[in-house]
Amino acid sequence: MYFAYLYSRYPVISQTFCDTEMLALERRGWSFEIGSIHPPHTSLRHEHAAQLRAPIHYAPPQEILKAREKRAREDGSWPVALVARHEQRYGPEAKAVQRARNALYFAELFAQHRVAHLHVHFANRAAQTALFVKAISGIPFSVTAHGQDFMVDLGNSDLLREICAEAKFIAAETDFSAELLRRRCPESAGKIHRVYNGMNLANFSAASQNVRPPNEPIRILSVGRLVEFKGFNFLIQACAELDRRGCDFRCEIVGEGPLHESLMQLINQLHLRDRVTLSGALSQAEIFARLRSCDIFTLASVVDQRGASDIFPTVILEAMASSRPVVSTTVAGIPEAVAPGQTGLLVSPNDPSELAEALEKLICDSNLRTAFGAAGRGRVERNFQIETTVGPLEQLLGGQPEPGSAKQNEIERFRQVSVKPAPEPFPETPRDPSTPLRWAQDGRRIVYLIDSWPDENLPNLEGEIECLRREALAILPIVCRYSSFPIPDDDFVVQLQFLPDAMVLEAEWQQERTIARALEAEHAASLQRVPGALFLEQARYALTLRKLLARENITHLHATSSRALVGALLVKKLRPITVSVAIETQPALPRTALKEALRHVTGGRVFDPRLVRRTDGSFLIEPAPSLLSRVRLNRREKFWQDWSERLAQLSIPQEKR
């Protein structure tokens, strides 16, 4: 079965358990896609992110989704009754219209990709969106519930019960969460299953214990977002107590969050700057290194004022997998991970004195640290290896609709409706069926690369693409950057595909540092360099585009401007594609750089014939926009027909011409 994950926001660096699960499923032969309603907050990516093969789809900007909503209201595909019911039942906090916009986009996207099931991590607004996707398209969904998501974040018990009632199954990450869910949603109790998060032990070396020189301080480590329910203020107070007792230690807190300043003030107030360090966010590899080098791992979890808490912190399992003793609290599902007196010590939450006493016990007893660490590693090997924990999820996913079932037929009917057919040719100028365009016969498509949209320098773009499609060219318009101007044409904008948010582009750039440095070095060595800011912008687009083109098996890219040409030629350095271009009346590139760039394209359109000296007929000399708009309709159509013929030829690989 081909399915998809749907997240409110992906990736989130603190949610490594999602990545571990998805990577395990891929290793076991599953294929899926990932949908993210919102872009990530940071460009930091853990190293394992590069191993994930699944494509990630981000919803376009809300302005674009509003245009899609307008079209859906006009064609009758907008879920009017469902939106009204959710607004009446759950109030404005549920944001039913926004959920419907997001759901409509992902319903169409996943239907086109023949997704048969959605799985959502967290019983939050993404789960509500999945409920809307099901209502719109028939695609069923399931949920992994954690605890804080349905206890606090969702904010409505009635909505939680509706989500659980509509879900195919609910996986709860602990027995604690499963029992809490069953009490809140008794009608759905039979389809609530405990499915633990698991650890990939390949990321952790075999059990070992640090040999600490006698005069070196004990290293205590804690990792988590700097938020109230992580209890870092109690940990810092416990460190002050340890300091008063004369313990020799250093405590490092890894993470970032809104409480950074207040925690720093508390450290200074208690005169602990030599004892306690706030290290900020680190990559997963750096965290693993810290776990290997520390002596004790601690997490002082509490229940915050909203009722939110840790449920089953992944980092505790990571510490145990690293053979480190754990000191934590009895909050929620933590006792399901830590066996008190065997793999660590558990204390009451909100009690810095009790926490200090437990830490001191391990600081003073190296043999106990070693015994707890070894037992913790064994516990993870027996109970929490991802190869073991992912099995129940596989069984639950395996029960989804198969081809030919009534549910699958419903999904297929929606797909056929949502995938719009290609426009018909102009009735007054029909194509000769005896001379079809050769490239169209093998299913290839041409990407029209648009630097930004809307763009006043591309006044004819909508009509141009429409005419090309009427001439039977399969055009895929991709916009690199949404420019936040008023949208001129709602019908056209819904046909556009947008590159993801700048934070996603930056993450790709940072993750692919080898490729990025090679592109930078080549740019530096060029005699006819494009401006540095333009290069850096377009290079980030190129790194993301290369994956999209590979996934869609696209071999020709048409740049709609000189700015887009920079990105297109950078893609050409990374993938075997051909490039054509349309140069605007006032190019963004210096003339010398532009002429050099034109040497590397198969052809295109230019206003200035002096830019090209080739005699192979690959370039079309374009009349000025004002002149083209004044000529008669049939002459404009003839111009775009000529361009479609030229573009079709330019897109054919040289060896196939």
pLDDT in tens, 101-120: 999 999 999 999 999 999 99
Say yes or no to pLDDT of 158 above 80: yes
Identify the domain boundary among 343, 364, 384: 384
Query: For the whole model, what pTM was predicted?
Result: 0.85
Q: Which 8-state DSSP code applies to residue 385? A: B
Asked whether residue 260 falls in the same domain as residue 327, the answer is yes
Rounded mean pLDDT of 65-87?
Answer: 92
Both 218 and 183 in one domain: the answer is: no
Res 462: pLDDT: 86
Regarding whether 251 and 154 lie in a shared domain, the answer is no
More confident site: 150 or 428? 150
Q: Do 339 and 277 reside in the same domain of the chain?
A: yes
In angstroms, rounded to a whole number, what is the distance separating the alpha carbons of residues 369 and 602?
Answer: 67
Residue 408 pLDDT class (50, 70, 90 cuts): low
Q: For 453, what's the count of Cα atoms within 13 Å in the CB-facing half-sphere?
A: 28
281 and 190 co-located in one domain:
no
User: Does one domain contain both 191 and 291?
Assistant: no
- Pick the closest to residue 543 from 577, 570, 522, 514 (CA basis): 570
Residue 544: alpha-carbon gap to chain centroid:
13
DSSP 397-447: HTTSPPTTSHHHHHHHHHHHHHSPPPPPPPTTS---TTS--GGGGGT--EE
Q: What is the arithmetic mean of pLDDT over 48-62?
A: 90
Site of tokens 């099931």: 117
- Rounded CA separation 557/467 (Å): 18
- Mean per-residue pLDDT, 623-640: 65
- Asked if 409 and 505 sit in the same domain, the reply is no
Please count the structural domains in the chain.
3
Taking 90 as the threshold, does the pLDDT of residue 426 lie above it? no
Q: Are residues 489 and 597 in the same domain?
A: yes
Any domain includes 242: yes
Q: Highest mean pLDDT range out of 345-354, 424-433, 450-459, 621-630?
A: 345-354
Residue 432 has pLDDT above 50, yes or no: no
Are 152 and 245 contained in the same domain? Answer: no
- DSSP characters over 191-246: GEEE----B-GGGSPSP------TTSPEEEEEES-SSGGG-HHHHHHHHHHHHHTT
Give which of 146, 147, 141 is closest to 165, Cα–Cα: 141
Rounded distance between C-alpha atoms, residue 310 and residue 331, angstroms: 7
Residue 392, pLDDT above cutoff 60: yes
Confidence of residue 123 (pLDDT cuts 50, 70, 90): very high
Instruction: Reply yes or no: is the peptide bond before residue 40 cis, omega within 30 of 0.
Output: no
Residue 229 lies in a domain: yes
Give the pLDDT confidence of 542-576 residue by residue, as tens digits.
999 999 998 888 999 999 999 999 999 999 999 99
The chain-wide mean pLDDT, for the chain, equals: 88
Strands of 276-280's sheet in order across: 276-280, 249-254, 218-223, 296-298, 326-329, 344-347
Residue 428 falls within a domain, yes or no? no
CATH code: domain of residue 523 = 3.40.50.2000
433 part of a folded domain: no
Per-residue pLDDT, 435: 37
- Share of residues in the chain with pLDDT > 90 (%): 66
Q: Are residues 160 and 221 in the same domain?
A: no
- Residue-wise pLDDT tens digits, 451-464: 998 888 888 888 88
Q: What is the pLDDT of residue 431?
A: 36
Query: Taking the chain, what is the end-to-end CA distance rounded to the nearest angstrom?
Result: 40
Q: Residue 427 has what pLDDT?
A: 32
Residue 420 located in a structural domain? no
Is residue 273 over pLDDT 60? yes
The verdict on 65 and 162 lying in the same domain is yes
Collapsed DSSP state (helix, strand, coil) of residue 274: coil
Position 280 in a domain = yes
Task: Tell me, yes or no, whether 190 and 206 share the same domain.
Answer: no
Q: Is 119 domain-assigned?
A: yes
Residue 578 lies in a domain: yes
The more confidently predicted of residues 142 and 494 is 142
Calpha distance 301→333 (Å, rounded): 11
User: How much is the pLDDT for 631?
Assistant: 53
CA distance linking residue 248 with residue 75, whole number of Å: 71
What residue numbers bound the domain in which 257 lies? Answer: 201-384
